[in-house]
């Protein structure tokens, strides 16, 4: 395939991202009437997928040769410690990182799927395409900030100010509560072209409401003045934006504050007596899902995050600790959805900046790369299966655009996002307004959701 | 509105109930030169009446020059400890051992003490900005004394040359630890390892030139197809990664020299020639580094290439503008600052003191551009906290502030990653840049208000676990005398906190709320006015 940047850009301009295009979709998702939720788990820093899912067949030798032994500052995980991901029949071809036994169990239970070598792509790209410059690379490949943004926008060929989560939310019918809720602050994924997400604190975090007010005359007068003042003096765009966040916060606080404080939550115990900071985000999501009827929510998209994956050194220890947080926390969250009877209506999926070099770096770490493996979890997932093509683990090999083991993705973020969006209820006709580039790639349904 | 007679009556009650404050002198509100208040908001951790008077007396230029000459406040001296929690704080050690040695807590408290009360306001404010550009974090550099040493470096170098700053940062053992330049060894074919690219990459992307070529006015240079032109490629990153091989921690006095010294953060990293890659390298701008040079010579040549790159002026200059004055400076403003960066008038490139001076004296900082609808910057949470404290007569040991900053997601010196608490290109839906808006979401709206409430209504006393703690007290400073007169109170708060931008409508709403507090407790009336101003959308924006 030969695509110039000019052609790509002109194609984009046809699609556009105006409110008009999105306006046509309003109500398209409302018809089904049931509840569905997407939970985006962003692993900030670039999770080393090469050590999260490792071949345990003959290819393990390639892996061990390139990753080198820990005694020499290498990163190879011992074969006998990997947790086999056995398919429904036959021998396991892959193993999971040893600190993820909970997710291995969910694999065995059919709730976990693995996607191989997904990444930001402007268009389908082979090694020959890349070497010859026939397909442009994503802008600022291997820069954390840019790749984090591009995973969230799925538009690696130009900067945009909305994420694909927000653009899905743009098409949802009006509801009393914004459909997109981040438990990890303001993020690009959640920003729509028209819709505004809500950001809420994690479980055990700060109150989602004002403290110190009572029914006294003085207290009520301050509250009344506060409500009035935030509608005044809006001559500056930045002040307006602050006022907008404030209005949204106050509008949601009444219904949401008790939910976020854990009132009526039945799933807290599943997260253990002392959930991690990441677990507290997922617990908060579980609480909101449990209160979905009270909150009048039929479609929700959540964003949570776990940081620290930029393992340039001491990777074996550091990634180990992170995955030992990720695995039980995701497992507890899945158990919560089972207990709430919505496990087949909630799909959880991972994103991350990029993969890391297969070749170790000085200091027992690895550097920035490109295509990466991701996890999808939930009752609707066609689990116990892998999706996509596993890269050849050879430095400078057919999937490596460098000599350090940086995989050219064989599945695009567009295809990944499209599969999730379609399951969530975005119609095929509306898909291009959520994911303008998706038409450049083969299929918009990778088949991991049933 | 309260009638004049009632105002006098209320004032009499103030006299009776609050003898420590002078009576309202005819309840004439504070009058402050608005531009002096604005300069104080841009160049300090928040206006105080005393500082505004200094600016009024000396003029902006004279005041800035006086500030540029002040030496740094002392960020404290902390015990040198081994880089091992298990050794320093074994089981049975007091619970404070970990907090005091392996978190930034004590340095953060010192930061807030200095920010609130130190004389070198401009230096501290610029160093705080630099700490958000050339980032290290206590999340990773656990040893508090090492983290503090790095922040002292930024305070010391805040008004020096960029070339000096970047060299001191590069050789800082805390930065070495944070971005893995320490003990970064030459390629090892036997072990199959390559040099660590982390510092090499982030030095370019974050600390100096950014990803794409810029014109002096900050606009992006594009190719024929409209795509931005990158400033460097992976080969440059790898070339610099090889340059930055062969450095280890400074030698702790009394310890034997090793090729990989144990963690020690006082002084600069030291070179170990045997671990340095002797091969030739190509670095930024095609600069050829010949084979066989020392680690020091390689490093100097690579840093010269970085500091000379035409992007540094617009890249660093624009961020400093964004941190001090406005998130969306005009291209002409950026270009004026880039010109000063290129030449301070005495043929010195990268004179940061001159750059800061030019940023603050620029017509776009001082003039009527403030009335443009896109002007200004959303306040960092830290500046909300310090602004309150400085305006309202807070005395503090900094402990509550260190904790509150964490709740507001901006614990100084402890950002979640090298990408700071927020990215410099964080934009609103409208497309306007507003980096600090990344920290202003629906959840933090309440946290901001609740922290303000706590400080105004129930400032916490001394934390018994902190040695020498004195807690936090508030006496409402220059607003205290106005508790008896709602109108004068709101006008004074408006002058000091909002440089007079409050509308008559908002003024009336706040005054009504003040009067609803009754007249028996003037302090409570000041609290009500301060709470409403400090939680208003307007106060969250400096402009």
Stretch B143-167: mean pLDDT, rounded?
98
Q: In the structure, what pLDDT confidence band is assigned to residue B330 with cuts at 50, 70 and 90?
A: very high
Report CB contact under 8 Å: A221, B225. no
Residue A81: CA count within 13 A, CB half-sphere? 10
Of B493, B483, B488, give the one whose Cα is nearest residue B526: B483
Residue A159: its pLDDT value, please? 86
The tokens for B95 are: 């619970």
Q: In the structure, what pLDDT confidence band is assigned to residue A9 with cuts at 50, 70 and 90?
A: very low
Report CB contact under 8 Å: A161, B431. yes
| Strand A198-199, strand A180-182: pairing | parallel
Q: How far is B82 from chain A (nearest CA, A)?
A: 18
Q: How far is B74 from chain A (nearest CA, A)?
A: 31
Residue A7 in this model has a pLDDT that exceeds 50: no
How many CB atoms are closer than 10 A to CB B94?
10
Residue B31 in this model has a pLDDT that exceeds 70: yes
Residue B26: its pLDDT value, please? 56
Tens-digit pLDDT profile for residues B50-63: 999 999 999 999 99
Beta bridge partners of A79: none
| Strand B472-474, strand A346-352: pairing | unpaired
Q: What are phi and psi of A389, to 5 degrees?
A: -100, 130
A contacts of B416 (beta carbons < 8 Å): 44, 307
Q: Are A66 and B192 in contact (CB under 8 A)?
A: yes
**Where does residue B13 rank: exposed (0-12), middle (13-18), buried (19+ CB within 10 A)?**
middle
Least CB–CB distance from B428: residue in A185, A207, A241 = A241
Report CB contact under 8 Å: A242, B443. no
Q: In the structure, what pLDDT confidence band is assigned to residue A22 with cuts at 50, 70 and 90?
A: very low
Decide: pTM greater than 0.90.
yes
Residue B383: its pLDDT value, please? 98
Least CB–CB distance from B438: residue in A186, A196, A307 = A186
B contacts of A232 (beta carbons < 8 Å): 503, 505-506, 509
pLDDT averaged over chain B? 94
Q: What is the separation of C-alpha A447 from the centre of its chain, rounded to a whole number of angstroms? A: 18
**How far is Cα B47 from Cα B30, in angstroms, rounded to an integer?**
13
Report CB contact under 8 Å: A224, B327. no
**How far is Cα A348 from Cα B92, in angstroms, rounded to an integer?**
41
Q: How far is B122 from chain A (nearest CA, A)?
A: 24
Residue A2 in this model has a pLDDT that exceeds 70: no
Q: What is the separation of C-alpha A223 from the centre of its chain, rounded to a whole number of angstroms? A: 38
| Interface A:B, Cβ pairs < 8 A | 254
Q: Which residue has the tokens 């390139």?
A: A66
Residue B384: its pLDDT value, please? 98
**How far is Cα B232 from Cα B224, in angstroms, rounded to an integer?**
18
**Cα distance from N-terminal residue to C-terminal residue, chain B:** 29
Q: Are A163 and A190 in contact (CB under 8 A)?
A: yes
Residue B8 in this model has a pLDDT that exceeds 80: no
Q: Which residue has the tokens 């001191």?
A: B168
Q: Which fold has domain A35-204+274-440?
A: Alkaline Phosphatase, subunit A (3.40.720)
Out of B80-84, B271-275, B491-495, pick the least confident: B80-84
Stretch A61-73: mean pLDDT, rounded?
95
Report CB contact under 8 Å: A310, B429. no
**How far is Cα B215 from Cα A438, in angstroms, rounded to an integer?**
34
Least CB–CB distance from B180: residue in A74, A363, A404 = A363
Report CB contact under 8 Å: B516, A221. yes
Q: Are B279 and B291 in contact (CB under 8 A)?
A: yes
Q: Are A26 and A20 in contact (CB under 8 A)?
A: no
Stretch B82-96: mean pLDDT, rounded?
93
**How far is Cα A189 from Cα A210, in angstroms, rounded to an integer?**
28
B contacts of A363 (beta carbons < 8 Å): 180, 183-184, 196
Chain A, nearest residue to B194 by Cα: A361
Of A191, A135, A344, A249, give the one whose Cα is nearest residue B438: A191
Q: In the structure, what pLDDT confidence band is assigned to residue A25 with cuts at 50, 70 and 90?
A: very low
| Residues 47 through 86 of chain A touching chain B, CB cutoff 8 Å | 66, 68, 72-74
Report CB contact under 8 Å: A368, B428. no
Stretch B420-425: mean pLDDT, rounded?
92
Report CB contact under 8 Å: A239, B423. no
Q: Are B449 and B535 in contact (CB under 8 A)?
A: yes
Least CB–CB distance from A362: residue in B195, B438, B517 = B195
Residue B14: its pLDDT value, please? 39
Q: Are A202 and A280 in contact (CB under 8 A)?
A: yes
Q: In the structure, what pLDDT confidence band is assigned to residue B429 with cuts at 50, 70 and 90?
A: confident
B contacts of A185 (beta carbons < 8 Å): 409, 438-439, 441, 443-444
Residue A10: its pLDDT value, please? 37
Treating both helix axes as pointing N-terminal to C-terminal, what angle do B442-457 and B522-534 enclose, rounded to 10 degrees?
A: 160
* B38 backbone φψ class: left, alpha, beta (φ>0; ψ -120 to 50): alpha
Q: Which residue has the tokens 């992006």?
A: B220
Residue A30 in this model has a pLDDT that exceeds 90: no
Global ipTM? 0.93
Q: How far is B420 from chain A (nearest CA, A)?
A: 11
Residue B287: which residues within 8 A CB-CB, separation 6 or more?
A: B301, B302, B305
Q: How far is B114 from chain A (nearest CA, A)?
A: 27
What does each C-alpha distance from B291 to A275, B247, B281, B287, B294 come to in angstroms?
53, 18, 7, 13, 9
Per DSSP, B134 falls in state: S
Residue A392: its pLDDT value, please? 98
Of B505, B518, B511, B517, give the one whose Cα is nearest residue B493: B511
Residue A317 in this model has a pLDDT that exceeds 80: yes
How many CB atoms are closer than 10 A to CB A179?
28
Of B393, B524, B509, give the one whose Cα is nearest residue B453: B524
Q: How far is B329 from chain A (nearest CA, A)?
A: 14
The tokens for A262 are: 């854990």
What sign results for the dihedral spanned by CA atoms A290, A293, A299, A304? negative
Residue A358: its pLDDT value, please? 97
| Residues 75 through 134 of chain A touching chain B, CB cutoff 8 Å | none
A contacts of B415 (beta carbons < 8 Å): none
Q: Is A252 on the interface with B (CB under 8 A)?
A: yes
Alpha helical stretches, state H, A275-386: 277-290, 292-295, 315-339
The tokens for B338 are: 């880039």
Residue A320 in this model has a pLDDT that exceeds 50: yes
Stretch B516-540: mean pLDDT, rounded?
97
Stretch B104-111: mean pLDDT, rounded?
98
Residue A29: its pLDDT value, please? 47
Instruction: State what percent of residues in chain B have pLDDT above 90.
Output: 91
Residue B9: its pLDDT value, please? 40
Q: Is A382 on the interface with B (CB under 8 A)?
A: no
Beta bridge partners of B474: B394
B contacts of A224 (beta carbons < 8 Å): 509, 513
**How far is Cα B217 from Cα B535, in angstroms, rounded to an integer?**
35
Tens-digit pLDDT profile for residues A379-416: 999 999 999 999 999 999 999 999 999 999 999 999 99
Of B124, B129, B102, B130, give the one whose Cα is nearest residue B112: B124
B contacts of A200 (beta carbons < 8 Å): 442-443
Residue B27: its pLDDT value, please? 77
Angle CA(A365)–CA(A370)–CA(A375) in degrees, nearest 5?
Answer: 85
Q: What is the separation of C-alpha A321 from the centre of its chain, rounded to a whole number of angstroms? A: 20
Residue B19 in this model has a pLDDT that exceeds 80: no
Least CB–CB distance from B446: residue in A191, A206, A367 = A206
Report CB contact under 8 Å: A68, B180. no
Tens-digit pLDDT profile for residues B219-277: 999 999 888 999 999 999 999 999 999 999 999 999 999 999 999 999 999 999 999 99
Tens-digit pLDDT profile for residues A141-170: 999 999 999 999 999 998 899 999 999 999
Three-class SS of residue B334?
Answer: helix
Residue B416: its pLDDT value, please? 93
Least CB–CB distance from A199: residue in B180, B426, B442 = B442
Residue A27 in this model has a pLDDT that exceeds 70: no
Report CB contact under 8 Å: B429, A68. no
Per DSSP, A197 falls in state: -
Residue B77 in this model has a pLDDT that exceeds 60: yes
- Domain map (residue ranges) of chain A: 35-204+274-440, 208-260
Three-class SS of residue B426?
Answer: coil
Residue B369 in this model has a pLDDT that exceeds 50: yes
Q: Is A11 on the interface with B (CB under 8 A)?
A: no
Q: Which of B244, B445, B517, B523 to mutate to test the interface with A (most CBs of A within 10 A)?
A: B445
pLDDT averaged over chain A? 92
């Amino acid at each position: 395939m030969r695509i110039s940047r000019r052609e790509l850009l002109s194609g984009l301009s046809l699609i556009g991202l105006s409110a008009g295009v999105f306006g046509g979709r309003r109500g398209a998702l409302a018809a089904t009437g049931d509840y569905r939720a997407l939970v985006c788990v962003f692993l900030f820093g670039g999770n080393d997928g090469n050590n999260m899912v490792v071949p345990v067949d003959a290819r393990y030798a390639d892996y061990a040769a390139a990753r080198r032994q820990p005694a020499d500052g290498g990163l190879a995980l011992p074969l006998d410690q990997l947790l086999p991901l056995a398919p429904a029949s036959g021998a396991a071809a892959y193993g999971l990182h040893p600190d993820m036994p909970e997710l291995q169990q969910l694999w065995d239970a059919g709730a976990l799927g693995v996607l191989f070598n997904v990444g930001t792509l402007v268009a389908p790209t082979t090694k020959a395409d890349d070497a010859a410059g026939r397909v442009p690379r994503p802008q600022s490949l291997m820069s954390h900030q840019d790749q984090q943004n591009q995973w969230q926008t799925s538009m690696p060929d130009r900067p945009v100010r909305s994420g694909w989560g927000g653009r899905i939310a743009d098409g949802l019918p009006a509801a009393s509560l914004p459909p997109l809720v981040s438990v990890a602050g303001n993020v690009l994924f959640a920003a729509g072209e028209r819709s505004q997400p809500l950001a809420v604190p994690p479980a055990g975090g700060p109150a989602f409401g004002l403290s110190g007010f009572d029914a006294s005359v003085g207290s009520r007068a301050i509250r009344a003045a506060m409500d009035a003042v935030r509608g005044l003096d809006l001559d500056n765009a930045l002040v307006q934006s602050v006022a907008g966040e404030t209005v949204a916060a106050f509008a949601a606080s009444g219904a949401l504050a008790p939910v976020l404080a854990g009132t009526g939550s039945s799933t807290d115990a599943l997260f253990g007596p002392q959930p991690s900071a990441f677990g507290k985000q997922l617990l908060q999501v579980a609480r909101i899902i449990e209160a979905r009827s009270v909150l009048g929510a039929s479609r929700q998209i959540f964003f949570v995050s776990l940081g620290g994956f930029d393992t340039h050194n001491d990777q074996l220890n550091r990634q180990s600790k992170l995955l030992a947080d990720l695995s039980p926390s995701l497992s507890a969250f899945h158990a919560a959805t089972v207990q709430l009877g919505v496990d087949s209506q909630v799909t959880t999926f991972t994103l991350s900046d990029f993969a890391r070099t297969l070749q170790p770096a000085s200091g027992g770490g690895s550097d920035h790369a490109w295509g990466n493996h991701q996890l999808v979890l939930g009752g609707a997932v066609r689990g116990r299966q892998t999706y996509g093509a596993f890269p050849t683990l050879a430095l400078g090999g057919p999937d490596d655009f460098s000599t350090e083991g940086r995989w050219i993705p064989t599945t695009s973020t567009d295809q990944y996002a499209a599969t999730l969006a379609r399951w969530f209820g975005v119609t095929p006709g509306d898909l291009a307004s959520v994911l303008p580039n998706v038409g450049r790639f083969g299929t918009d349904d990778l088949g991991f959701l049933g | 509105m309260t009638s004049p007679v009632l105002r006098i009556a209320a004032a009499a009650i103030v006299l009776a109930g609050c003898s420590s404050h002078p009576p309202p002198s005819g309840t004439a509100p504070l009058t402050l030169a608005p531009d002096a208040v604005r300069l104080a908001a841009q160049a300090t951790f928040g206006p105080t009446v005393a500082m505004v008077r200094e600016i009024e007396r000396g003029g902006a230029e004279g005041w800035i020059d006086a500030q540029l000459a002040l030496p740094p406040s002392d960020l404290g001296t902390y015990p040198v400890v081994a880089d091992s929690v298990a050794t320093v704080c074994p089981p049975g050690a007091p619970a404070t051992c970990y907090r005091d040695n392996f978190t930034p807590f004590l340095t953060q408290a010192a930061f807030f003490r200095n920010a609130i009360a130190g004389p070198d306001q401009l230096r501290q404010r610029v160093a705080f900005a630099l700490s958000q550009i050339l980032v290290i974090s206590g999340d990773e550099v656990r040893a508090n004394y090492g983290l503090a040493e790095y922040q002292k470096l930024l305070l010391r170098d805040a008004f020096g040359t960029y070339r000096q700053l970047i060299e001191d940062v590069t050789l800082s053992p805390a930065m070495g630890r944070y971005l893995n330049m320490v003990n970064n060894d030459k390629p090892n074919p036997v072990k199959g390892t390559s040099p660590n690219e982390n510092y090499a990459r982030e030095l370019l992307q974050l600390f100096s030139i950014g990803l794409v070529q810029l014109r002096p006015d900050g606009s992006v240079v594009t190719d024929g197809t409209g795509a931005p032109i990158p400033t460097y490629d992976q080969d440059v990153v790898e070339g610099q990664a090889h340059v930055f091989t062969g450095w280890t921690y400074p030698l702790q006095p009394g310890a034997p020299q090793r090729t990989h010294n144990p963690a020690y953060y006082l002084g600069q990293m030291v070179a170990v020639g045997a671990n340095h890659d002797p091969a030739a390298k190509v670095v930024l701008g095609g600069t050829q580094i010949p084979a066989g040079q020392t680690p020091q010579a390689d490093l100097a040549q690579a840093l010269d290439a970085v500091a000379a790159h035409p992007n540094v002026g617009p890249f660093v200059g624009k961020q400093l503008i964004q941190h001090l004055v406005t998130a969306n400076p005009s291209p002409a403003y950026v270009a004026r600052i880039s010109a000063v960066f290129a030449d301070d008038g005495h043929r010195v490139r990268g004179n940061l003191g001159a750059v800061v001076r030019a940023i603050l004296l620029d017509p776009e900082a001082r003039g009527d551009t403030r009335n443009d609808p896109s002007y200004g910057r959303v306040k960092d949470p830290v500046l909300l906290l310090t602004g309150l404290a400085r305006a309202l007569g807070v005395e503090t040991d900094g402990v509550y502030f260190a904790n509150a900053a964490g709740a507001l997601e901006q614990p100084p010196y402890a950002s979640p990653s090298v990408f700071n608490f927020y990215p410099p290109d964080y934009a609103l839906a409208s497309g306007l840049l507003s980096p600090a808006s990344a920290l202003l979401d629906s959840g933090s709206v309440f946290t901001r208000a609740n922290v303000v409430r706590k400080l105004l209504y129930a400032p916490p006393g001394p934390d018994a676990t902190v040695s020498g703690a004195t807690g936090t007290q508030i006496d409402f400073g220059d607003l205290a005398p106005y508790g008896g007169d709602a109108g004068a109170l709101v006008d004074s708060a408006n002058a000091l906190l909002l440089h007079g931008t409050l509308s008559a409508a908002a003024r009336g709403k706040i005054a009504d709320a003040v009067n609803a507090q009754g007249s028996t407790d003037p302090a409570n009336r000041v609290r009500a006015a301060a709470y409403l101003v400090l939680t208003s959308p307007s106060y969250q924006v400096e402009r």
